[in-house]
A and B are shown apart, each in its own frame.
Chain A
Amino acid sequence: MKVKAKFENNKVEVKLLVKHPMDTGLQKDKKNGDLIPAKYIQELSCMHGDKLVFLANFGRAVSKDPYLAFSFSGGKAGDTLILKWFDNLGDNEETKVVIK
């Protein structure tokens, strides 16, 4: 997960890109013609301390390598954000980022 978290104009702006195939389950493998099983992020959350500041639920129509941008008040430079995603197969990734 690549995350940019910036404190500006009294708000924390977050932009992120997750490396994830977001396979819909509708596409065929070019080599053997089999359907590539669905593997896509279903939930992505952002915590600031013990507060949930953002929660995204995705369906299959979110692009490969999902991009998200959102912003919130109450954070400042130096604070830590914890971002985490879960996909339909149970894989997950957690990233900590310090607000600049």
Chain B
Amino acid sequence: MIERRNLLKGILGMTAVFSAALLIPKLAFAQWSKAFDANTTEKAMTDMFNKTETTKSDKIYLKVPEIAENGAVVPVNITTDIDNVKTISIVALKNPQPLACSFTIPEGTDSDVSIRIRLFETMDVQAIVETHDGTLYSVQKEVKVTIGGCGG
């Protein structure tokens, strides 16, 4: 009797897990593996967006430090006034794998994300905003990453 109850619990539990998994867009999984492994910005852009051209926009507000306190923990905040945002991505142009992360912005979610990334050296950090019609907008800023000193 008890065994049957546990078996049913187990089946119901598994069903819950599977149905939750189905709700997460499959597209996310498919896009993941290639673009994030790319060793050049061109390849990462091609794998992620099928294009490499972006339009510079002054409607993207990229907040990064001028000088990173700690190159392993660099805070990045991106907000934008652009409408119909599909994704916001961060490209660290001189990192071994330039595509650092990508955020899907569903309807109702603000185009305002914050994260901390690793930068291996001084480089430009680029914010790419993708709209639902496939256009890519971007802005970039330099972040200085230093070593050497005493800790202050």
Contact = CB atoms under 8 A, between A and B. Distances in A.
B24 A52 contact: yes
Contacts, number: 115
Contact of B110 (A58, A59, A63, A72): A72
B101 A61 contact: yes
B28 A55 contact: yes
- Size class of A's contact patch? 20 to 34
Given A57-B31, A61-B92, A70 B116 contact: no
A82 B73 CA distance: 26
A99 interface: no
Interface residues of B, number: 38
B106 A11 contact: no
Contacts of B119: 61
Contacts of A82: 20
Contact of B116 (A47, A51, A56, A63): A63
Interface of A: 11, 24, 26, 42-43, 45, 47, 50-64, 66-74, 82, 84
